[in-house]
Amino acid sequence: MTLNRRSALTLGMGAAALTASETPALAHAAAGTAAPPPDSATAATPTPTSGVSDSQLARSLPGSFTSDYATVNGLRLHYVAGGQGAPLILLPGWPETWWEYRKVMPALAATHRVIAVDLRGMGGSDKPATGYDKKTLADDIYGLIRALGYDKADVAGHDIGSMVAFSLAANHPQAVRRIAMLDVLHPDPGYYQIPILPAPGAPFYPWWFAFNQVQGLPEQLVVGRARFIVDWMFDHLLVNQNAVTPFDRAVYANAYNTADGIRGGNGWYQTFGQDIADLAAYGKLTVPVLGLVNSLFAPQMQATLPTQADDVRVVEVPDTGHYFVEEQPQAVIDQFRQFFV
């Protein structure tokens, strides 16, 4: 799907949180612009292509955000947290990391303890051989809620993270107050009907669903070349190309440039069959659910989500593609402030 390009102002994050010790690359990240290539005087400074640490990225956000880890279910999960108040856990999608939420975290941290998590297999989190079904991923987040000392948390997820949020509410409702599902529903039997070839004129063709099912080959093809996939996804699933800068794309590409990073991301897709079987055993969700969705996917979410949960509100986000946390951050902030109260 190629979305129509529309001009829009880039929403920068501001550089107020940066100190003189932060790198030039991070200053550009905070401003929402691409970093220039290093010269001889700064060649040792991390750049988007050599990798910027999660700690540096966390410090680049306005406010006081820190990068940390928790050990749950026998693996180490990475998260970035900041703010005070009731916990709000943010779960990213593919091919992204916790950095997906960089534009909304500072505003949400005014009223919540915001915790953006790298899922099992993602970014700074461990990448074990198994456990990529959404029920196990939900168990990881349940363990994180408990490890951080909370009884309940609000949870929002985009893409793969949305599937995990749904599974968390289905399997651990006692630990979830409300969930927001962004643009993607939990896998269901309809996934088996996705065609291998797009019909002429089809507006949407998720070829990566099939590509990520293949065992072993993606690692061979994509190691060191993840930027090509990252760029394709954003080039075709954004309306405003400036919403995800070259720096941001490099951050994501670095997370998926290794064999383990590719295998971890593919694992979320290779377990769809198990996810579909698990869905059949779930009843309707009892926790309140907010569905945020772009115009293309809105009819599906509006028709399906009310059959899966008792208390549902679906809101269409206009003038955006799939990655609307980055394209329309203010809309996400406004909806979260109304819902997570």
The answer to whether the Cα torsion of 128, 48, 70, 105 is positive or negative is negative
Interior/surface letters 211-238, b for 16+ CB within 10 angstroms, e for the rest: ebeeeeebbeebeeebbebbeebbeebb
- Give the span between the Cα atoms of 143 and 138, in whole angstroms: 9
Which amino acid does the sequence have at 4?
A: N
**103 φ/ψ angles, rounded to the nearest 5 degrees:** -80, -20
- Rg value, the chain, Cα: 19
Provide the β-strand partners of residue 293: 316
Q: Which residues are catalytic?
A: 159, 269, 322
The token pair that represents 54 in the structure block: 């999660």
Give the largest CA-CA distance in the chain.
61
Exposed/middle/buried for residue 107 (C-beta within 10 Å: 0-12, 13-18, 19+): buried
- Give the span between the Cα atoms of 269 and 117, in whole angstroms: 19
Residue 41 Cα to chain centre, angstroms: 35
